[in-house]
Structures are given as C-alpha cells and as structure tokens.
C-alpha cells in the first residue's frame, strides 16, 4: 500500500474548523498519506469499520473535554465542550488502542489520550503559567522551551533533549493516566508529550507541529515518521 489511510475525527463545520483541519491533512499528505475524515458517528459498527479500514489515527486539537469524563465538574475558566465529539473520540481511541494502531495525538488529542487512560486535566493553567501557553497569533513559531526524555519516541525523532515549541492550550494533563508517562514537559512542569508504555507507535504532544511544520522542517518529521509507520504496518 503506497498511501496509507489515516483516520482523523472531524473537527467541526464552518470556515475556522475547516482551516484548522486542513493544517493537519496538509502535513499528512506531504508525508504521503491518504486522509479519511471521520464524522462523530458513535455507532459501534461504524467505529469498528473505521478501525479496520484505517492504518492509523490522528487525534487533533479542539475544544475542552467535558470535565465529567475525568470525574470533575466544570470550574471557572473551563471552555465550552462538544459532548458528541468527546464521546466519539474516546470510543474511537480505545478501539484503536485495542487494535494497536499507530497514533498521533495533538493538543486536545493528547488530553483525550490522558482522559482515556483515566488521567485528569488542569482546567485552566493561566494562573500557573510563566510562558504564554495559549498563543494562537504566534502559532507558526516556537514560543516556549520544553525538555524531552531522550528515551522517548518523541525525543528520538526530534534528536534532542531540549527544543522550543508553539503553544495553543489553556489546559494541561494533571494526573497522568496509568500506563502513560511524561515524555516532555514545560519549565512550569506542564506535560508537553506523553508516551504509552509498551505500545508499538504513539506520539502524543501538547504543542501543534501542524502549524510549525512549514517553517520548522523537523516538526514535519513527526508526520513523516507516523505515516511511514502506518505504511509499514499496512504493506
């Protein structure tokens, strides 16, 4: 198979969400993928069909996850959630993990991963941050440093233990789900990458390589490695 099919949950309708979705699909296509956008269809057969059809899954950015999914009620500063998308993504992610599919979880996607593993989120980090972590205007540029665990997949792909990344989040992983470990963190200690213990291929990052890849080729390497892995597994 030359162009592996990557499944991506629909981010939403309207111009803004189409623009955001395009930034992911563009990077994946540059890496040689074929894209399947997955609507928020929660029927078990639809999810099973997607899991067998797609070589791997990318979980993109988006609105705050509803706090009930990690056992909390909404606190001041928590944004409006999209329950249909939350439920679809959690179910799809669990099925994809069961099938050991390659995963790339970005922004909200990393938070969905932590939630699916029983972790919790900080609902608003603004009062605890030293760097502006929610900087949409500078989304194409590196704005804060992170430290990477050199043993992690993300550390190996970026070939460094320190890098600067963009930042478009106002929430962060808090308690880390059992079976996950922190592969990178910000100076304040916010997790910036997670890794699943004993899993074939999963990249989970809190920053947004899809907005950096054009100016910062090493960020495109993450999409390339993910798509190459998907291609290998479907060949």
Q: Which two tokens stand for residue 61?
A: 């950015």
> Max CA-CA distance within the chain?
49
Q: Which is nearer to Mn ion, 25 or 152 (CB)?
A: 152
**Least distance to Mn ion from the beta carbon of 186, Å?**
5
**Binding Mn ion by CB under 5 A: which of 25, 115, 123, 167?**
167
Q: Which of 85, 101, 108, 133 binds Mn ion (CB under 5 A)?
A: 133
- What number of residues does the chain have? 235
Report d(CA 115, CA 117) in Å as an integer: 5
Given the rule CB under 5 A, which of 32-40, 75-83, 131-139, 148-156 is the region that contacts Mn ion? Answer: 131-139
In the bound state with Mn ion, the residue whose beta carbon lies nearer, of 169 and 231, is: 169
- Shortest spacing between CB 47 and Mn ion, in angstroms: 30
Contact 192, 184 (CB under 8 A): yes
Q: How far is the CB of 168 from Mn ion (least distance, A)?
A: 8
- Distances 210 to 7, 24, 77, 108, 133 between C-alpha atoms, Å: 16, 5, 26, 13, 16
Total residues at interface with Mn ion (CB under 5 A): 2
Task: Report whether 67 contacts 74 (CB < 8 A).
Answer: yes
**Residue 167 or residue 195: which is nearer to Mn ion going by CB?**
167
Element (H, E) at 226: helix 217-234
Residue 219 interacts with Mn ion (CB under 5 A): yes or no: no
Residues in contact with Mn ion by the rule CB under 5 A: 133, 167
């Amino acid at each position: 198979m030359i162009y592996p099919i990557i499944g991506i949950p629909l981010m939403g309708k309207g111009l803004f969400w189409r623009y955001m979705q395009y930034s992911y699909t563009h990077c994946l296509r540059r890496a040689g993928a074929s894209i399947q956008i997955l609507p928020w269809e929660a029927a078990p057969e639809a999810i099973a069909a997607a899991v067998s059809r797609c070589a791997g899954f990318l979980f993109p950015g988006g609105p705050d996850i509803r706090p009930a999914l990690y056992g909390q009620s909404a606190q001041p500063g928590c944004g409006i959630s999209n329950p249909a998308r939350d439920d679809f993504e959690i179910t799809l992610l669990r099925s994809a993990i069961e099938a050991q599919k390659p995963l790339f979880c970005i922004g909200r996607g990393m938070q969905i991963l932590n939630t699916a593993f029983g972790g919790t989120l900080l609902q608003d980090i603004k009062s605890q941050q030293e760097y502006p972590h929610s900087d949409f205007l500078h989304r194409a540029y590196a704005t804060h440093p992170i430290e990477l665990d050199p043993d992690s997949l993300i550390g190996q792909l970026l070939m460094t233990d320190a890098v600067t990344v963009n930042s478009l989040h106002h929430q962060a992983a808090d308690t880390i789900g059992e079976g996950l470990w922190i592969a990178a963190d910000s100076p304040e200690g916010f997790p910036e990458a997670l890794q699943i213990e004993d899993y074939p291929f999963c990249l989970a990052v809190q920053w947004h390589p899809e907005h950096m890849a054009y100016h910062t080729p090493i960020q495109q390497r993450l999409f390339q490695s993910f798509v190459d892995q998907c291609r290998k597994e479907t060949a």
